[in-house]
Structure 1
Amino acid sequence: MKNLLVSLEHAGDFDEIIDVRTPLEFAEDHIPGALNAPVLSNEERVLVGTTYKQVSPFEATRMGAALVARNIAHHLETTFSDRPRNWRPLIYCWRGGKRSGSVTMLFNMIGWQARQLEGGYKTYRRATLDTLVTLPKAFSYIALVGPTGSGKTRLLAALNTAGAQTLDLEALAAHRGSLLGAWAGVPQPSQKRFDTLLVSALRTFDPARPVFVEAESRRIGSIALPLALLDTFHQGRCVEVISNPEDRAAFLLHDYAHLFDDPELLKGQLQRMIGLHSRERITGWQQLVDDNRRADLAHELIERHYDPAYARSSRQHFVHLARALQWNFRPNDADVVDQAKALLAELDSSALAVV
């Protein structure tokens, strides 16, 4: 089988990449563009593992072989029924073991030029982590810095529409970053999946052009940002996004509408702030929820929670914040793309280079 092994650097030489792990493993993360054709279902993998521990390795292997054979037969009759004779697939599993090995061997017996990824997904994962140490440093960043509600995410999207290179970390992490920032009904990706998505995004950028990114802390919800990325854009240029209090409150009411529409959920989220704020203050905010005083709560959160947190973190992290271009932004207006174009023009004409 050694002559059927190939290294990760040759993955692009194949017609298709086939991930034969379970759907759960595939959902956690996978090589970009891979097709999932599991040789064991989620339940079957658990059953084989339990048999291995409670009965014997031999019985588990015999059971697994029968299950894998049936599932491969099913894929041959369905998923791969239209593949041509000269098809060249690359097959991988968790660590380049029996699952991918059995598929690779059988595919070659059929006549396809199948190869097995040496080391499997684990090799890919190590390569991803290594890439995240170096690749983020290849770009120059312009960080959009500003307190919650100033519309940084909306400005970032408008900059993208205007033709700028943008890295939307909150979109990749499926979270707005703040304590109340969970997306309604959308789970966050795994850390592994986020890392894969981040590398894929970075590889689309031109190093000769700046990349706009929203200022973030070390964590976005449950996701940790790579230190190489944080360190690089913390050392780079900044634009301080400024919006008036009324615009910020209106923006929060719109972006966090799912929370305001679910009072019990919102009160539960506020309860998590105990430790950051006194119980009396939290109780007062929860009373505003009960009274449906949404605007008052938005102003309270801005003044007493978000702004103090922003003042602490921004001064600590962004080296060139004192020299940042201050940009007045109206996040609720219809002309946000025109505002973004004006910002790009201002950046082109101003001396923002870091010295």
Structure 2
Amino acid sequence: MARTVEYKDLKGNYVIVDVRSPGEYKDSTINGAINLPLFDDEERATVGTIYTRESTEKAKKLGVEIVAKKLPGIYDNVHELEKQYEKVVLFCARGGMRSGSIAELLGALGTRVERIKDGYKGYRAFITEELPKLNEKVEYVVLHGNTGVGKTEILKKLKEHGYNVLDLEDCANHRGSILGSVGLGETTSQKQFESNVYEQLRETQGKYVFVEAESRRIGRVVIPEYIHNKMKSGIHVFVDADIEFRKDLIVREYTKVENCKEEICEALIKLKKHISEKNIEEYCEKVRQGEYDEVVKELMVKYYDPLYMHSSDKYDYDFKLMVNEVEEAAKALENFIEQYSKKDKESCVACTE
């Protein structure tokens, strides 16, 4: 019988294998897992329909017939993984029939497989329990500022320099604005977003974590309230840059993929309640002609900046930073947090004397 293990107890050199359908895997999975599906999406739907509408036995029989044809390929894949890892750990939705059956079959063929107790459901319970604990251990250094001032680029540079960073937009695969999905594809699901946040916080060393200020919603995901509240009570930094720097950064970011023009126009249409249809049509025409500079400047002045300033006045900033160059800005923030940390330690020592 294949050994069952809880996700929290996984240690050593292992690989996690998601045996759910490609659709389930795409929606959300355990970070780092590879997909070896027993059923494709259509097969899963068919078996599920028979299970609920006809009979359990008929569904099981069909499932066995489908998997039997794929077993040699699955075995070969798992055998190859065993050459690279000490353990191959399987999971399905709830740790039941799919992972249990294939684990027993593979075990009977001599492979070293284990399966995760309660499957993805058990992993989700782990994330739900552990993510708030990680959040409690950190203090966020929150970067505020208008669109295009380089907050995301500064975060990336800080991470390169070894500082703790929580990149919420990277976790969501969305930039957090109306145009935020241009060139990125689909936003992650809520479950995957929380897993991504957990993985980034799990890697932190020390107390301070740099993060960009966000509204609670990023694309189609929502930042958990306990994280958003912790960000509000953090250390607040205002980041600014001149309009030419911002324009160049935005144009570079949003036009670096092919076929971006129509995506940009589709996003602009969503601004109807803020910008007249006439202006949107003019912007789209300029975008299609590749005349981005004027469009970006007008959107910043007429839409993004007024909208941002409306929500940014509620903080007393601990530090203000003018960005001329990203590397220089990151170094300035590093100096700031080092000095802040030093004063914080001195204050704690004074309080205990």
Whether the TM-score (by the shorter chain) exceeds 0.5 is: yes
SS in 2 for 1:212: strand
Task: Report the Cα distance in structure 1 between the residues aligned to 2:39 and 2:224, rounded to whole angstroms.
Answer: 33
**Equivalent in 318, 341, 344 of residue 324 of structure 1:** 318
Q: How does 1:107-146 map to 2 (within 5 A)?
A: 107-112=106-111, 114-146=113-145
Match of 2:254 in 1: 256
**Equivalent in 298, 315, 339 of residue 329 of structure 2:** 339
1:23 aligns with 2:15: no
- Give the superposition deviation at 1:134: 2.9
Opposite residue 270 of structure 1, the aligned amino acid is L
Q: Compared with structure 1, are the counterparts of its residues 8 and 250 closer, same or farther at alpha carbon in structure 2 (3 Å cutoff)?
A: closer
Match of 1:96 in 2: 95
Q: How does 1:192-341 map to 2 (within 5 A)?
A: 192-206=191-205, 208-257=206-255, 263-279=261-277, 281-283=279-281, 285-286=283-284, 289=287, 293-316=291-314, 321-330=315-324, 333=325, 336-341=326-331
- Give the superposition deviation at 1:212: 0.8
Opposite residue 106 of structure 2, the aligned amino acid is F
- Give the superposition deviation at 1:241: 0.6
- Give the superposition deviation at 1:200: 0.8
1:44 aligns with 2:43: yes
SS in 2 for 1:80: helix
2:81 and 2:88 in contact (8 A); partners too: no
Task: Report the Cα distance in structure 2 between the residues aligned to 1:92 and 1:261, rounded to whole angstroms.
Answer: 38
Q: Compared with structure 1, are the counterparts of its residues 260 and 252 closer, same or farther at alpha carbon in structure 2 (3 Å cutoff)?
A: farther
Task: Report the Cα distance in structure 2 between the residues aligned to 1:131 and 1:44, rounded to whole angstroms.
Answer: 34
- The superposition leaves residues 241-297 of structure 1 with CA deviations (integer Å, 9 ceiling, x where unpaired) of 111122222222222225997554433322211123444554554465477653332
- The RMSD of aligned alpha carbons is 3.1
Aligned length: 344
Opposite residue 211 of structure 1, the aligned amino acid is V
Task: Report the Cα distance in structure 2 between the residues aligned to 1:90 and 1:263, rounded to whole angstroms.
Answer: 43
Q: Which runs of 5+ in 2 are unaligned?
A: 348-353
2:14 and 2:87 in contact (8 A); partners too: yes
- Give the superposition deviation at 1:205: 0.1
Task: Report the Cα distance in structure 2 between the residues aligned to 1:294 and 1:110, rounded to whole angstroms.
Answer: 60
Task: Report the Cα distance in structure 2 between the residues aligned to 1:214 and 1:130, rounded to whole angstroms.
Answer: 24
Q: Percent identity?
A: 31
- Give the superposition deviation at 1:306: 0.9
1:174 and 1:183 in contact (8 A); partners too: no
2:286 and 2:295 in contact (8 A); partners too: yes
- The superposition leaves residues 66-96 of structure 1 with CA deviations (integer Å, 9 ceiling, x where unpaired) of 2223323332244326747x96543321111
Q: TM-score, normalised by structure 1?
A: 0.84
- The superposition leaves residues 203-242 of structure 1 with CA deviations (integer Å, 9 ceiling, x where unpaired) of 0001x34111111111221222122221111111111111
Q: Compared with structure 1, are the counterparts of its residues 263 and 27 closer, same or farther at alpha carbon in structure 2 (3 Å cutoff)?
A: closer
- Give the superposition deviation at 1:144: 1.0
